[in-house]
Structure 1
């Protein structure tokens, strides 16, 4: 037991009640992530110097894209959680599947939904799906940062028991101090990954369709696996073989896909600068 503990800052999960409708921090985090990601994507698409003449989504079309992405994330994230994290419960309680306001979203499922949304958007707007994926991937860490802070405020998805000086006792997490793993994920999956992708873009990454998206997939997969060593597994799953967790297993194919995308993008010819 550590001598000093950082007290958990208990925050009311409801920001304000508008009559019978509670406005929760959890929902606001998703909204904030989408809005901030939308603004960043519009900024990227408006910077022609980053694209060097390569066809890409317009700033105006990003307004449509955010609707596609939001729908894909919510539907995919919920189905991913149902299928991979708590299927027996939802088979017994099918009406609970649509109760997203009670929590239960899976990043990997949301990613699959977002990929499908990107493909549909790209076909309808006649642009490269890889270039659209690059724009979306660049802004995803913003949403991840907001989402992990929401996990911390709720609180949920806390860390494993530990004696580090910054450990916290989470409401509902038992009497022993735990890693604030939500903050670890906010830092690695959010801040660090956002900076890395920004550097890739600054180095000309958008000229090679799929490069930024591939770097995101590899970066997120590695960050998630690292954080899983500190995060308490979902109680209905626990540890799998060899101490692995479901989050680790789902991140491995993501890393492989990212590596393939990076290799493909690196072998493709970069866009030539457009004439001025």
Structure 2
């Protein structure tokens, strides 16, 4: 018996006022940044989580938002161009700037965030590990909203599924084949599960060990992404690579290794204490 669901029809445009058009995908980026900004401010104000005064002043975090936003957008686009569709963009270089047509890479966006953290921390004299922890703590919020936007757009759909699967779905651009709604799987793993794990770690004072949240985010995202890729149809211009692996899987393997290394490094260092804090006010 078939339980195939029809893909719900969504308007990809969330807000349209005259010539101004805001799509759900753009709104997901905006929402992720704004919600993450406020969540991070709440973490900074809670001295118990840091073992004393937080090493990142609130005013510095407010200034950092612009830096990390540019890192996400520029890194995400450059990553997509280089990792997923280089041949096309070599032939059509002007389309690199047409962001409204879609095409962003998480791994590229993450590298953009890393550069933003390193540059801002160096410029302001802030601890890199703690700034990285804070940035990674809010990361799953943006991932959740981004994957939901992928689903609304009917893009990045999953592999063919057994029609008896209750939530198997036919996507408008995926042909008549029932597929896994892999965007929702990824939203659950990369967004909800990862956020909850990091939140529990933060509650257990993981922020008092600089680098621990950052390492956990990097490694666990790599695991979550590889699991999600098992149900996701690979990009048509790339297809399956070596041994049935996809580009998303290959890019996630180094994240697991690096994340584990950072976790070990963080656990071997002494935790922050009230005396070890920089003394910056978090008013």
TM-score interval, smaller chain: over 0.9
Q: Which runs of 4+ in 1 moved over 2 A?
A: 272-275
- Distance (Å, rounded) in 2 between the aligned partners of 1:45 and 1:104: 33
SS at match of 1:17: strand
The answer to whether the 8 A contact 2:44-2:54 is kept is no
CA drift at 1:60: 2.0
Matches within 5 A, 1:19-98: 19-53=18-52, 56-98=55-97
Q: Which structure's relative contact order is higher, taking Cα pairs within 8 Å and 6+ residues apart?
A: 2
What residue number does 1:168 align with?
A: 169
CA contact (8 A) 2:47 2:54 kept: no
Greater CA drift, 13-22 or 156-165: 13-22
For residue 126 of structure 1, report the CA deviation from its aligned partner. 1.4
**Runs of 5+ in structure 2 lacking a partner?**
277-283
Q: TM-score, normalised by structure 1?
A: 0.97
Report how many residues are paired: 274
Does the aligned pair in 2 maintain the 1:54–1:271 contact within 8 Å?
Answer: no
How much has 1:21 moved relative to structure 2?
2.1
How much has 1:55 moved relative to structure 2?
Answer: 5.1
Question: Which residue of structure 2 aligns with residue 155 of structure 1?
Answer: 154
Distance 2:106 2:16 in 1: 28
> 1:49: Cα distance to partner?
1.2
Q: CA RMSD in A?
A: 1.2
Find the aligned partners of 1:197 and 1:274 in 2 and give their Cα distance. 25
2:220 counterpart residue number: 219
The farther-off stretch of 108-117 and 9-18 is 9-18
Matches within 5 A, 1:1-276: 3-53=2-52, 56-163=55-162, 164-274=165-275
Residue 52 of structure 1, CA deviation: 1.1
TM-score, normalized by length of structure 2? Answer: 0.94
